[in-house]
Structure 1
Amino acid sequence: MSDPAPGLLVRRARPEDLDAVGDVTVAAYAEFTTGPDDHYVALLRDAARRDREAELWVAERAGEVLGTVTIALPGSPWREISTDDEGEFRMLAVSPAARRQGVGETLTAHALDRFRALGFTGVVLSSLAEMTAAHRVYERHGFRRAPERDWSPMPGVHLIAFVKEL
Structure 2
Amino acid sequence: MDIVIREAKPAEYDPLGDITALAYLQDGLLDFGESDSYLTELKDVAKRAAAATVLVAVRGTALLGGVTFVPGPGPMADLAAPGEAEIRMLAVGRAARGHGTGEALVRACIDRARATQGCTAVVLSSQRSMHTAHRIYERLGFVRTPDRDWSPLPELADITLLTYELTL
TM-score (ref. length: structure 2):
0.92
Quote the Cα distance in structure 2 between the aligned partners of 1:96 and 1:69: 15
Q: From the superposition, tell whether residues 65 and 164 of structure 1 become closer, same or farther in structure 2 (CA, over 3 Å).
A: same
Structure 1 segments, 4+ long, off by >6 Å, are none
Quote the Cα distance in structure 2 between the aligned partners of 1:65 and 1:50: 18
Q: Which runs of 5+ in 1 are unaligned?
A: 1-5
Secondary structure, aligned partner of 1:40: helix
Contact 1:81 1:125 in 2 (8 A): yes
- Could you tell me how far 1:102 is from its partner in structure 2? 0.3
Q: Which residue of 2 aligns with 1:161?
A: 163
The correspondence for 2:4, drawn from 9, 15, 26, is 9
Superposed, 1:25-36 pairs within 5 Å as: 25-30=20-25, 31-33=28-30, 34-36=32-34
The correspondence for 2:68, drawn from 60, 67, 70, is 70
CA RMSD of aligned residues (A): 1.1
Superposed, 1:1-166 pairs within 5 Å as: 7-30=2-25, 31-33=28-30, 34-119=32-117, 120-154=119-153, 155-156=155-156, 157-166=159-168
- Could you tell me how far 1:87 is from its partner in structure 2? 0.8
Quote the Cα distance in structure 2 between the aligned partners of 1:125 and 1:52: 20
Quote the Cα distance in structure 1 between the aligned partners of 2:74 and 2:123: 15
Identity %: 42
Residue type of the alignment partner of 1:54: A
- Could you tell me how far 1:7 is from its partner in structure 2? 1.2
Residue type of the alignment partner of 1:69: V
Task: Number of aligned residue pairs: give it.
Answer: 161
Quote the Cα distance in structure 1 between the aligned partners of 2:73 and 2:125: 18
- Could you tell me how far 1:76 is from its partner in structure 2? 3.0
Give the structure with the larger strand fraction.
Answer: 1
Residue type of the alignment partner of 1:162: Y
Q: Which runs of 5+ in 2 are unaligned?
A: none
Q: 1:10-51 CA distances to partner (integer Å, 9 max, x unpaired)?
A: 111111101111011011111211311111111111111111
Residue type of the alignment partner of 2:9: R
Contact 1:27 1:96 in 2 (8 A): no
TM-score (ref. length: structure 1):
0.93
- Could you tell me how far 1:75 is from its partner in structure 2? 4.9
Secondary structure, aligned partner of 2:81: coil
Quote the Cα distance in structure 2 between the aligned partners of 1:161 and 1:63: 34
